[in-house]
Amino acid sequence: GDSVTQMEGPVTLSEEAFLTINCTYTATGYPSLFWYVQYPGEGLQLLLKATKADDKGSNKGFEATYRKETTSFHLEKGSVQVSDSAVYFCALGDSGSARQLTFGSGTQLTVLP
């Protein structure tokens, strides 16, 4: 079945540092890929998505590129801020009849001033 493997946390960075959170997946067909973010005390929010190979999703300075050859969708940001502190989830949307998302286990990011 489909699965998502996400870099384990927690990750602690200083403000303005470069961020990479690794995400790899296993799926049949041509899935869509998502990054969701959960800020403290809030619900899951879509951060960005990519629906086909080589697509780049971007939002709020975050980027991720759908790499079919390496089955990866790594999240990057060039300069993190304290306000980016949150839990980040990589997720896969199956392209078959199933519509549910399959999530990774999440990566806790803490950015220190």
Partner 1 sequence: GAGVSQTPSNKVTEKGKYVELRCDPISGHTALYWYRQSLGQGPEFLIYFQGTGAADDSGLPNDRFFAVRPEGSVSTLKIQRTERGDSAVYLCASSYPGLAGKDTQYFGPGTRLTVL
Letter for the amino acid at 29?
A: G
What is the rounded CA–CA span in Å between residue 112 and residue 106?
19
By C-beta, is 17 or 44 nearer to partner 1?
44
Asked whether position 12 contacts partner 1 by CB under 8 A, the answer is no
17 binds partner 1 per the rule CB under 8 A: no
Q: Maximum distance among all alpha carbons in the chain?
A: 46
Q: Give me the least distance between CB of 44 and partner 1, in Å please.
A: 4
**Helix H or strand E segment including 74:** none
In the complex, which residues of this chain contact partner 1 (CB under 8 A)? 4, 6, 31-32, 34, 36, 42-46, 49, 51, 89, 91-106
